Amino acid sequence: MVTHHGYIANGICGEAAADERLHGRSEFRLFNPTPHRTDVRMRVFFSDRTPVTLDPWPLDGFANRYLAVPQFAPQVFAAAGPWGMTLESTEPVLTDHILVAGLKGDTVSDRFAGGVSDVLAEPAAAKTWWFGDGLRLAFNPQTAPIPYNEFEWYHLLNPGPRDADIVVTRFYGPGDETTQRLTLAAERVMLLDNFDTAPPNRGHGIRFSGTEPIVVQSTRLIYSLHGLGEWGAQIHTPRPGRASATATIDQPHA
């Protein structure tokens, strides 16, 4: 019997508290495009604790099921912070994950509220991931061409049993690149931002190269021209990446 897989890396769940600015909630749409009933088995991964395997969810043929996080499993998702998930089923299931998340600011502003990150579950983990539109905007408030700044989150999931050593390479042009090295523990997720690691106002391509298969998804956020403290940060848009088995000559972990 064939087992179909799906991977989600960009989950965030929790309310912003006095000592924690990160907050998030999300929802799933699971659609079975076949006439055959299937059970969807979910395993949830966290940044700081062991994974949890949920009871299977039944999904009839041609059925569309809605699940809200944390409501459908509050004992698992309440105050989870960053999380990821693997899904297994005997039929191919389309999984649409819609995330609302951000950082709490010192004041409340709904001026740019309403952004979400909407991604489909990835069909497989891979050792190499590419993003073509890396960016961090940091403008002078007096001369800014748009009314906000931007930065990016990268959501990394390592669903496997071994730690993954990862090299993040940012490409700005021929001979102009930077590298960042990190380790993602086995069966853990990591929320990585480019707020302090990417130079402002320089577009670039990005490669994540790991020693183990991982999943990388990305989200762009907006924040005040006067800094994160004014009204925090809110999701602007998801940013698609591409998994690849293609190595380049200087890629150590293809």
pLDDT at 85 over 50: yes
Q: Which domain holds residue 216?
A: 4-243
- What are the phi and psi torsion angles at 236 (to 5°)? -105, -50
Q: Is residue 250 part of a domain?
A: no
**Domain assignment present for 248:** no
Residue range 115-143: mean pLDDT, rounded: 96
Supply the DSSP symbol for 113.
T
Distances (CA, A) of 53 to 9, 46, 85: 16, 12, 10
User: Among 32, 33, 21, 12, which Cα is nearest to 190's?
Assistant: 12
* Structure confidence by residue, pLDDT tens digits, 22-43: 999 999 999 999 999 999 999 9
What's the mean pLDDT in 219-234? 95
The pLDDT of 220-238, averaged and rounded, is 95
pLDDT exceeds cutoff 60 at 246: no
Summarised one tens digit per residue, pLDDT across range 181-216 is: 999 999 999 999 999 999 999 999 999 999 999 999
Number of structural domains found in the chain: 1
CATH code of the domain containing 23: 2.60.290.11
* 252 domain-assigned: no
| Domain membership flag for residue 88 | yes
pLDDT at 226 over 50: yes
Whether 182 maps to a domain, the answer reads yes
135: amino acid identity, one letter:
L
Let me know if residue 251 belongs to a domain. no
Contact 69, 11 (CB under 8 A): yes
Which residue in the block uniquely carries the two structure tokens 């924040």?
223
How many CA atoms, within 13 angstroms, populate the side-chain half-sphere of residue 94?
12
Strand (E) or helix (H) holding 71: none
Q: Span 115-125, mean pLDDT?
A: 96
- Answer yes or no: is 98 within a domain: yes
Residue 254 pLDDT more than 70?
A: no
pTM over 0.75: yes
Structure confidence at residue 5 as a pLDDT band (50, 70, 90): very high
Q: What is the chain's mean pLDDT, rounded?
A: 93
Q: Which is higher by pLDDT, 54 or 79?
A: 54
Local structure of 27: helix, strand or coil: strand
| Per-residue CA distances from 75 to 52, 54, 69, 78, 85 (Å) | 10, 11, 11, 6, 16
Residue 100 lies in a domain: yes
